[in-house]
Amino acid sequence: MGEIKSENFSIPLLKANEAIAKNLRERWDKQKTFVVNILSSPGAGKTTLLEKLLPCIENLKTIVLVGDVETERDAKRIKEAGFDSIQIITGGACHLEAVMIEQITNKLNERYDLIFIENVGNLVCPAVYNLGENLRFTLLSTPEGDDKPKKYPKTFLTSHALIITKTDLLPHLPFDIEKVKQEAKEINPEIRIFEISALKNQGIGHLADFVKKEREKWIRE
């Protein structure tokens, strides 16, 4: 049996998503709101990274929109860290869609300089749903294994940055970090790569600088 490729099928749902994402992008362009969409498997460290990253991004009004199948736990964590956050409960859906972001942002009373979207933990579906973001980050944590870029190429292909998390665990794991970097670059030669241990506070500053610089570059364009 031959390969089955999803691009051979017409997907009206994705076309509708693209149209809403385009509207979101136009609105955020006018408002000068910079948006980062964060993808990863469940437990790769998205919320922990945000808890550490947000305090390094000073003087920008920031909110985190966080998607999960159930519970308000992550939004609660972000608020406890001292930042605005809204939970999006998908009730089963394994990814966020532009319409969900549109509904939430329509209700915001304030303008934000920066919006982080913590997507539902999943390396598959979120890759094909444009949320109108400026930057897409994918986290890969060391316990997940070094074979993931080639197994989930679309996610790495569509990301601006790969953030290898939990590097403090490297001494305990058979994780070939150079192989991951090489395979991610083979899929997407432009991808930026960051190595982070949120637990040990390593690499957070570099990532914060990257977000700030990319936002400034975009503002100047």
Residues lying near ligand GDP in the complex (CB under 6 A) are found at 40, 42-48, 121, 165-166, 168-169, 197-199
Q: Which does 165 bind (CB under 5 to 8 A by kind): ligand GDP, Mg ion, none?
A: ligand GDP
Are residues 191 and 39 in contact, defined by beta-carbon separation less than 8 angstroms? Answer: no
Does the footprint of Mg ion cover residue 41 (CB under 5 A)? no
Instruction: List, as one string, the DSSP characters of 13-62.
Output: HHHHHHHHHHHHHHHHHHHT-EEEEEE-STTSSHHHHHHHHGGGSTTS-E
What is the nearest approach in angstroms of ligand GDP to the Cβ of residue 166?
4
Q: Which is nearer to ligand GDP, 102 or 210 (CB)?
A: 210
Q: Which does 198 bind (CB under 5 to 8 A by kind): ligand GDP, Mg ion, none?
A: ligand GDP
Does the footprint of Mg ion cover residue 25 (CB under 5 A)? no
Instruction: List, as one string, the DSSP characters of 186-212.
Output: HH-TT-EEEE-BTTTTBSHHHHHHHHH
Q: Which does 44 bind (CB under 5 to 8 A by kind): Mg ion, ligand GDP, none?
A: ligand GDP
Residue 57 to residues 116, 177, 198, Cα–Cα distance (Å): 12, 27, 15
Q: Which is nearer to Mg ion, 14 or 124 (CB)?
A: 124
> H or E element: which one contains 177?
helix 177-187
What is the nearest approach in angstroms of ligand GDP to the Cβ of residue 176?
18
- Return residues touching Mg ion (CB under 5 A): 46-47, 74
